[in-house]
């Protein structure tokens, strides 16, 4: 989350049902970070991205509170003084930041959330070697449990002040919060949303038995469990069945401790208005001019990702290399731009992966580049305006994650693109359920197929490109950003009415 644009205090176009009670959101990372200005005064900066827009939009309508962990030293210092002051962002909801001691937080965040749960649900382990669960991993699990309980306690405390809110708990970091919160506030309506894939029952068995049962039980404390796609929801139901828990597949419901838990897909939409505003900033316009000059007459293949193992950057580069070797007539006429936002630098697997990607890019440039033509340009930088500018310019957008909960890039690109660019999309990206039929489909492990997909996308005739681009835009616009929260809140209310 970097520097962001200001949020409109209230936008009547976006107003949803006004009779909803208050909402309390919980997530590991909050919607705001503080950076000191020249005088050293902490200034709040709103995070960028569809998720922050969806949740701040909902909170603007209902009022309430967002609870998150303090990230930086400055965050921790401000959090220790009480509620964060976000008045200058025009928000009519509060933000509470939780302080966790840095060692516990590191075990919770790096040790379990990113090293175990992220790897598990994206199928990232090199199975002959990892995972391996010994005493150290159990200790990290203890920290995970502790931070989840800290969140649950804070949410329960806030329940009174917020007049019995609906709770929207976010993501895999907080899988144990629903059950812990239910113990403290038994009748409270709780939805939990998983932003990443949910692995299938066989792969989930890579987790020690007690841990995977605890995870399922933690999530089943919710009334509503949300995933981006049918596929991830089905995997979750399959995992419950594998543990002997009663599941009604037809109604997508789990019977758990005398309650019924609904398990549903709620695909997150793209922030179409926010993207248009971001493209209109001076930073994005300057980046657009610079990229246009750099591209020249060449065609542009683009990827935009966090520098992240699950995004399959390396196979993407190898596929582009293979494409250039099989179709030499394209040499000098196409450029590949990879905009990579640095991520999780604390994990050695990530540093090694990024290094490997950079080395492959260098080799491809050395072996295949000639004259002033460098085929593969990599930018490793947090630069949202540049991403928004590049979206407008691509001829081919390569989105080939090994697995991805949704992948918003696949939806954002087509909204802003001006060249009837073609989307090459992994069949394992959640976005595939909504927009896959307008894209060129790839199996992310098949480098040859991906190379051929790039070739097919570049060679596609004008009418076909225009037809697909139009259909993509329509498909994305059919799912407005607000629907994601509204559908969860409506299902929570319904679940409550039916007891
Ligand atoms: C997780 C799940 C799920 C691009 N460049 C920069 C930057 N961006 C923005 C993009 C987009 C977002 O970052 C990336 O979102 P994705 O959905 O593609 O991927 P994850 O970060 O892995 O998100 C994913 C998502 O949660 C929401 O539920 O779709 O499956 O993995 O909006 O425009 N943002 C910043 N700097 C950049 O340089 N700050």
Nearest CA to ligand 1 atom 13: 49
Cα–Cα distances in Å, from 155 out to 107, 411, 431, 472? 22, 33, 31, 39
Tell me the CA–centroid distance for residue 94 and ligand 1, in Å: 24
Beta bridge partners of 255: 260
Nearest CA to ligand 1 atom 35: 384
**Interatomic CA distance for residues 50 and 53, integer angstroms:** 5
* 6 vs 432 pLDDT, higher one: 432
Tell me the CA–centroid distance for residue 134 and ligand 1, in Å: 33
pLDDT of residue 11: 38
Nearest CA to ligand 1 atom 10: 409
Of all atoms in ligand 1, which is nearest to the CA of residue 381?
A: 38
Tell me the CA–centroid distance for residue 53 and ligand 1, in Å: 12
Residues framing ligand 1 (Cβ under 6 A): 1-2, 48-51, 195-196, 268, 304, 306, 341, 382-384, 387, 404-409, 412, 430
Q: Which residues contact 216 (CB under 8 A, 6 or more apart)?
A: 239, 240, 243, 245
pLDDT of residue 180: 98
Contact 148, 174 (CB under 8 A): yes
To the nearest whole number, what is the mean pLDDT of the chain? 93
Tell me the CA–centroid distance for residue 68 and ligand 1, in Å: 18
What is the crossing angle of helices 50-62 and 481-497, to 10°? 50
Tell me the CA–centroid distance for residue 89 and ligand 1, in Å: 22
Query: Is pLDDT of 287 > 50?
Result: yes
Tell me the CA–centroid distance for residue 290 and ligand 1, in Å: 23
Q: How many CB atoms lie within 10 A of CB 482?
A: 18
**Residue 121 token pair:** 């649900």
Quote the strand ranges of 297-439, DSSP E. 299-306, 334-341, 376-380, 396-399, 422-426
Under the banding of pLDDT at 50, 70 and 90, the label for residue 191 is: very high
Query: Is pLDDT of 312 > 80?
Result: yes
Contact 152, 123 (CB under 8 A): no
**Residue 159 token pair:** 């329940």
The best mutation among 118, 341, 390 to test binding of ligand 1, ranked by most ligand atoms within 8 Å of the C-beta, falls on 341
The best mutation among 118, 408, 433, 434 to test binding of ligand 1, ranked by most ligand atoms within 8 Å of the C-beta, falls on 408
Of all atoms in ligand 1, which is nearest to the CA of residue 1?
A: 39
Contact 203, 120 (CB under 8 A): yes
Q: Give the gyration radius of the chain's Cα atoms.
A: 23
Q: Which helix (H) or strand (E) holds 301?
A: strand 299-306
The pair phi, psi for residue 238, each rounded to 5°, is: -60, -40
Mean pLDDT, residues 140-144: 98
Of all atoms in ligand 1, which is nearest to the CA of residue 431?
A: 29
Contact 190, 222 (CB under 8 A): yes
Mean pLDDT, residues 233-245: 98
Q: Which stretch, 48-57, 79-88, 320-329, has highest mean pLDDT?
A: 320-329
- In the block, tokens 């909504």 appear at 434
Query: Is pLDDT of 187 > 50?
Result: yes
Q: Which stretch, 74-83, 86-95, 128-137, has highest mean pLDDT?
A: 128-137
pLDDT, tens digit (0-9, with 9 covering 90-100), for 21-43: 899 999 999 999 888 889 988 88
The best mutation among 2, 29, 47, 48 to test binding of ligand 1, ranked by most ligand atoms within 8 Å of the C-beta, falls on 48
pLDDT, tens digit (0-9, with 9 covering 90-100), for 38-66: 998 888 888 877 788 889 988 998 999 99
pLDDT of residue 77: 87
Tell me the CA–centroid distance for residue 1 and ligand 1, in Å: 9
Tell me the CA–centroid distance for residue 48 and ligand 1, in Å: 9
**Interatomic CA distance for residues 163 and 189, integer angstroms:** 12
Tell me the CA–centroid distance for residue 368 and ligand 1, in Å: 31
Of all atoms in ligand 1, which is nearest to the CA of residue 306?
A: 21
The pair phi, psi for residue 480, each rounded to 5°, is: -65, 150
Contact 307, 343 (CB under 8 A): yes
pLDDT of residue 4: 36
Q: What is the 3-state secondary structure (H, E, C) of 229-277?
A: CHHHHHHHHHHHHHCCCCEECCCCEEEECCEEEEEEECCCCCCHHHHHH
Nearest CA to ligand 1 atom 7: 384
Contact 295, 335 (CB under 8 A): yes
Tell me the CA–centroid distance for residue 383 and ligand 1, in Å: 12
Closest C-alpha to 392, from 370, 371, 375, 415: 415
Within 13 Å and on the Cβ side, how many CA atoms surround 202? 1
The best mutation among 406, 412, 413 to test binding of ligand 1, ranked by most ligand atoms within 8 Å of the C-beta, falls on 406
Q: Widest CA span of the chain, in angstroms?
A: 71
pLDDT of residue 19: 58
Coil, helix or strand at residue 26: strand
**Residue 122 token pair:** 């994206």
C-alpha torsion angle, residues 85, 88, 92, 96 (rounded to 10) = -20
Query: Is pLDDT of 2 > 90?
Result: no
């Amino acid at each position: 989350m970097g520097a962001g644009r200001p949020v409109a205090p209230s936008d009547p176009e976006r107003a949803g049902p006004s009779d909803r009670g208050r909402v309390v959101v919980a997530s590991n990372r909050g919607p705001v970070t503080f950076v000191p200005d020249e005088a050293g005064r902490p200034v709040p900066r709103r995070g960028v991205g569809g998720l922050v827009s969806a949740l701040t939009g909902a909170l603007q309508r209902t009022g309430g509170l967002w609870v998150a962990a303090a990230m930086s030293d400055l965050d921790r210092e401000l959090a220790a003084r009480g509620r964060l002051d976000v008045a200058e962002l025009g928000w009519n909801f509060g933000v509470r930041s939780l302080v966790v001691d840095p060692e516990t937080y590191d075990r919770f965040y790096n040790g379990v959330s990113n090293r175990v749960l992220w790897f598990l649900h994206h199928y990232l382990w090199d199975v002959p070697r990892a995972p391996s669960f010994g005493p150290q991993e159990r200790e990290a699990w203890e920290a995970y449990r502790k931070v989840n309980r800290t969140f649950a306690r804070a949410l329960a405390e806030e329940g009174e002040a917020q007049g019995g809110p609906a709770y929207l708990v976010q993501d895999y970091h907080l899988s144990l919060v629903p059950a812990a919160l239910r113990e403290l506030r038994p009748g409270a309506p709780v939805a939990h949303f998983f932003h990443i894939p949910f692995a299938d029952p066989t792969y989930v068995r890579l987790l020690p038995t007690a841990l995977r049962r605890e995870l399922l039980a933690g999530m089943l404390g919710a009334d509503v469990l949300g995933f981006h796609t049918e596929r991830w929801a089905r995997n979750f139901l399959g995992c419950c069945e594998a543990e002997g828990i009663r599941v009604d597949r037809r109604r997508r419901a789990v019977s758990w401790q005398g309650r019924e838990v609904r398990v549903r897909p709620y695909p997150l939409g793209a922030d179409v208005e926010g993207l248009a505003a971001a493209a209109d900033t001076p930073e994005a316009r300057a980046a657009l001019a610079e990229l246009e000059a750099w591209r020249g007459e060449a065609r542009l293949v683009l990827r935009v990702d966090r520098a992240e193992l699950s995004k399959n950057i390396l196979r993407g580069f190898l596929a582009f290399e293979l494409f250039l070797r099989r179709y030499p007539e394209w040499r000098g006429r196409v450029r590949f731009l990879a905009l990579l936002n640095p991520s999780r630098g604390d994990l050695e697997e990530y540093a090694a992966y990024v290094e490997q990607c950079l080395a492959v890019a260098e080799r491809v440039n050395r072996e295949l580049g000639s004259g002033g033509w460098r085929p593969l340009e990599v930018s490793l930088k947090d630069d949202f305006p540049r991403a928004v500018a590049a979206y407008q310019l691509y001829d081919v957008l390569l989105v080939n994650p090994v697995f991805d909960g949704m992948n918003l890039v696949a939806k954002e690109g087509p909204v802003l693109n001006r060249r009837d660019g073609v989307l090459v999309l992994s069949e394992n990206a959640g976005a595939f359920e909504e927009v896959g039929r307008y894209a060129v489909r790839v199996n992310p492990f098949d480098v040859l197929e991906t190379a051929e997909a790039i070739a097919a996308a570049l060679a596609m005739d004008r009418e076909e490109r225009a037809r697909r681009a139009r259909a993509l835009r329509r498909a994305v616009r059919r799912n407005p950003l607000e629907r994601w929260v509204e559908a969860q809140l409506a299902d929570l209310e319904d679940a409550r009415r039916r007891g």
